Structures are given as structure tokens and as C-alpha cells.
Structure 1
Amino acid sequence: MLDIAAELHRWTLEGRDFAVATVVRVTGSAPRQPGAALAVDRAGEAAGSVSGGCVEGAVYELCRQALDDGITVRERFGYSDEDAFAVGLTCGGTIEVLVTPVRAGDAVRPVVAAALAAAAGGRPAALARVVDGPDELLGRAVVVGEDLPSGLPVPGDDDVPDLGRGAVPEVRAMLAAGRTGTVTVGADGSRCGRPVTLFVESSVPPPRMIVFGAVDFASALTRAAAFLGYRVTVCDARPVFATAARFPEADEIVVDWPHRYLATAEVDARTVLCVLTHDPKFDVPLLKTALRLPVGYVGAMGSRRTHLDREAALREEGLTARELGRLHSPIGLDLGARTPEETALSIMAEIVAERHGGTGVPLTGARTPIHHEPAPSPSGALPGTGPRGVASQDVASLDIASLNALSTPGG
């Protein structure tokens, strides 16, 4: 539901009762991915979508029912169902939705409200709800984030605090990676002792891209990255080139030596660094710093000969084979790109593939899945950073003992 946080935050401020249906699982081909949500208030106003139109009517009625009876339910819609055509899901996949009432007096409401307020305000937040486990726990929620309000209600169930203590580290890890998906806690041996599956929705500020080199390729890349939702900084030591007039889509223009700026720049596991200077006096000290930072992607422009020369210089600077293995160079996928715009497309295609675990091969005739769910790498990199990503970001969480952010649906 955090994908429609701004609208639902307004509803909570206005005191509206509503129910929200969230896609918690997708198999096969489906129009929307986990986290997509449809909310309905008492007056029948709707916000969001769970299927792009396929099953909206049926899910709308589930929300109306949840508003009346206060019961959280999980429902499945799939092509194999006898009523698939009746509800309109004919794309060949299945979706499962969790329908949660969020009414005044419901214990889940302050948990949801805290997550919505943080997400709507652009602050990192993750909302986790029980989607599988004992029936009495279905829909219970925990919220993790920075600067969230305290004093959430205590439902009075002895199992809940233990479940919460087990859940918070898992939810924090999902938030640090900016991921939405499921985690299981409370397995045998834990204090809770009961396996429970949580659906975690993460809302994080836009990922950051830093483009080094104020060249024509950088201008095209800035436009493409802004279109895909990145917060873009352009850095170049030459003030005549690094101007807002040349890069109107950039969020920030920095005039500084690239390696000096990067040494103090704010980066995380989702940050993308694109080195387009292809000049050794800039590239080598910059990449020496970049390849030792906990960022998701480092790419450098240049010919294959330039790459070999640059790699040799970096070895002389003491970089290890593992550090050099994180470098994408020559940058981008092989699209046969020639123009700056085509090159920008090539670079962004590689970044998207790296972020989501894609192969970059044509889908026609391929046996690879259309939508990827990357698993954690053996090296311990966070999911979503790609095989070369390194994760070190930590995110503050609510104190579960004092806030007891797990709640009982329906009060």
C-alpha cells in the first residue's frame, strides 16, 4: 500500500475509514507486482490498482466487506480458477491479495498511519504484515523506519512481542535494500516457535545516480535516469561544462574534482556511479575510491583498450581482483548504440538488469522469467544490488519493546 502512500496518508489525516487490498504474491505473468494496492473508503472512493483492471471489481467488493466486518482476509485470483474470466484475470498468472481494514479504533491503524506518514514524507519506512501463519496473527503489522512516532498500542498477546523481536531485524534488512517481498520468522527454535510469513513493503527515497563527466553522453544519461526515477547528481571539475543550463534534468550540479567529491558524498547500497570522463587523470583516482564504496553499481565509459589500460593503472594503485570485478567497463549492454541517447539507453538497461537480476538477453525465445526476484548473493550482498553489490547501510527501527508495533486487526 505504500505505493499510494500520499493518498492514503491524506485519508488518515481526514479521519476516513478504509480497507486496503495489497498484492502479496504473484506467480506467472501478472499485470502488477507485489506491493500494488487498491484502497476503498466508506463512501466508496477508490485509490490505486491491484491488477491494472483485471480483477478490480472483485477486490473492490472484498474491501467493502472488510470495512463492514473488520476481518482481514487473503484471497487468490488465477487463470486456472473456474471463475477466471468472470473476474477478468486472463493474463495467465495468479495474484494473491491481503485485504486489511484500517478503521478508527482498529489497533492496526496507528501502525499503518505511521508507515504512510513516513512514506508520504519521503522518509524510509517498511510496513510488514503477517500473510501466512496462525489464523489469529493474520494481518498483524510491524513498522520500521526513521523518526517514527512512539506509543503504539499493546494488543496484549504474549506471542506478539517475541514475534516482533524476530521480525524487526528481517524487516530492517529488507528496508536497507529497498525491497518489497516476503520473509519468514518464528521458525522452530525461536522464542516464538511458530513459523510466520510476513509481507514487507519498503518505501525509500529515490535511488541516487552520480554521473562524473559533464559531456554530451552525460546529458542524455541524466535525462534517461531522471525518467526512471533516479535522483541525479552531475559532477565535473570544469565549471564551464558543469552548468544547470546544460543539465536541466539533474537534481544537483557539483563543480569539484570527482574523486574528492565522491570521498565525502552520501552513498548507499542502491547508489549508481557512472564514470563518463574517460580521462586517466580523473578516472583512476575516482575509480580507486568508487570500487571500495558500498554502492550498487560502478560503470566506466571507454573503449576496450582504454579499459585494459585503466585496469592496469588501478592494479598499480593496489586494487584487488575482487574490487576490479565490480567494475562494469566498457559501460552498458551491447545494443549497437551510437548516439548519446542510444548509449544512455544501453547504460540504463545494464543498470536495470543488474538491479533486478536480469540477463540482458532478448525475451523472444528465451526461457528466463520476465520478472526476476534476485536472491541474496553468496558474498552477502543485499538483494537488489546485483551480484557485485556491497551492503552496509543500517536503518533505524522502532523500539519494539516500547512501541509494540505489532497489532491486532479490528481492535
Structure 2
Amino acid sequence: MDAKGEKKLLKVGSRKSKLALIQTNHVIERLKDYYGDDKYEFEIITMNTTGDNILNTPLAEIGSKALFTKELEEALLNNEIDFIVHSMKDMPTTLPRGCCIGAVLKREDPNDVLILKKSFNVEHQITSLTDLLKSSNNKNGSFTIGTSSYRRIAQLKYYNPGVQCINIRGNLTTRFQKLDDPDSNYTALMLAAAGVQRSGYEDRITETLDSDDWFYAVGQGALAIECREEDRFILDLLTPIFHFKTCLECISERSLMKLLEGGCSVPIGVRCKWEFDGDENPNDKHYSIRAKLWLSGAVFSLDGTKKVEHTDFVDLNEDVEESETNFTNISLPSRTLPCFEKVKRQYRNSYKLGYMLSKSLREKGAVDILNEIKQSKQKVL
């Protein structure tokens, strides 16, 4: 409450989509769970972003790295809102000057999912992507998968060059309507599991692609809260809902993508795994984890004919040389935290993991793939 005993008003920025509002309300409820209903009043300020306004073009072809963030960040820097709720996978690895990621919430399922057209599922009794790619329909070239993600398209083509992919944009309800329309060409959709689950469509999932052979997007499944980097009040406000384990995963993944100069226009996929010491349960601790963090990464050519893959790990508590980095704009906790130096060491090790993996991928040939992608885009332009 303020000096007059009234609730303090906090303005929360969000995109207008149904999923974005579900995620924003989730964050608000988490804050209310901790602070109660008497201290703060939350007002959601919605707006359309560039990515929301361009629906007939694949995201990777639009050419901006801030498709779903730019307009909201402008409002944040103009003090029109106090913080923004984003899907982490939509966040560029470099933010505008004055902005930071003030909190990362606990990651939900980071995997992709396959969703089959209802009529096709009943007729063909297919239960997995493997079945679909091996089906006689695929050999005849008579089925198509709806996705606008270069990463998903490249992986599909890597496993079966004959697969047909069609761009599909819009909210989930619209996508499901397009999928199930008897006159549509779509046989299946590929989507992020977390978005499908948050929107209440779990019953439509045919298969969760949780194999080590399938790579999900950097930051997928996590929510990020962006605020002004000098706004100590908001940074402290967000501290109770900060999920440290997810934060370290995102630092390693985002540093890999940043150092590979990637984004949604480059087919880069990742997969994180943990190796804990003893009975350590990181979900029960706010900061400081005794564990090794493993990160696998892969870079694909746009047509799926080339793939470079590598896996590496770090012990989060090993000594690491100080380096000048902002951890892809993910904020450090308050220096008053008793274990601050240990936390900072784990941040540095997570960033180091992304650095090591990017170096190994480059040595294995990722540079050639990335250069080919850049050249192909320049020819189109």
C-alpha cells in the first residue's frame, strides 16, 4: 500500500492474444499468492506487436529480432507500464538499453508436440511423428504439416526430405480450426507443448516430442518478465517468483544462440538436462544448486540436408574466470543475498556452457551452415 493506505497500482504490459493474457494473468496470480490481495492492484495494458500484425508471412522472413517485444518495450521505457510478461522464446538475446529480464518463472514442458487432424487420426490410427513420416501418405506426398518455424521444418526434412510444410499463423483456436477444416490441406500441426497446455488443449496432443533426437527452441516453455534495469522496486517485487533452475537453463541456451548469431530465422535447437549431487532437489530451493548442467545443441540447414550437433556440460560450482557479460540481459539477484557470489558463479558457468557449445558447433561446421543461410537470405532480398 502507499502512504494513504491504498493499493499500489502496477501496470503490466501484454500482447492481446488469448495465450499472452493467460500467461500474464498467471504471473499476476503468482504475485498475489505471495503478497496477498491487499497490497497491489494490477492493470493489464495490452497492445499488438509487429508479429501480431503480420500474419501472412513466416516469422523468420519478416526480418526483425523483436517481433513480439518492440512496442511493449517502448511503453516500458516511456514509463507507461511497470513490467512485461513474455514467452522467453520470443525474447531477443540483446535487449534495448535500459531493459532487463527481471525474473524467469518455472519452466513448463519445453518440448514440441504433434497434433493430428481429427479425421486423419481416426482413419489412419497414427500415434507418433515416426509413424507419420513412415506412412504411405508421406511417400505419396499427400500430407502436410502446419508450422512456420524454420527449426521444426529443418528437423522434419532432416528425417524425411519429402515432408511438406505449410506456413500457419494466428492464435491456437484459429490454427485448430484450420487444421480440422475438411477442405484444408493440413494433416497435422507442430506446436510448443507449453502453449497448448496453457490454453487448455492438452487433449489434442498426439505425441510429445521429448526424445533426445528432437531439439526444442531456446527458452521454450519459460516465461520472462521484462522491466527497467534500474527499477529496484520492481526487481525486488519479482524476486519471490524467480525460478533459479530455469534461469540457468535459459542463460546457457540464450548465450549459445547469441554467440551463434541465431534467432528465429536460423534453425537452432537445444535440449537441457541436469545431473544433481546426492538428494538435491532444485525445485525446493530458491537459489544455489549443487549440480552439473548439460546442454545439447544442433544447427540445421534450412532444407534439412545438413546437421551439426554437440553436447557439453559444466559443474555449476566450479571456479570460473570473471568475464564481461550481461548474461543475455537476465538480471542478477540482489547483492544483499547471502549466497550472491555463489549465484553469480553459477550464472557465469551457465553462460560458459553456451560459449563452449557454440565453439564446438562452429568447429564442427556450424559456421558453414550459418553462412549458407545468410547468403540465401541475401539472394532473396
TM exceeding 0.5: no
Q: Which has the higher contact order (CA 8 A, sep 6+)?
A: 2
Highest Rg: 1 or 2?
A: 1
TM-score by length of 2: 0.27
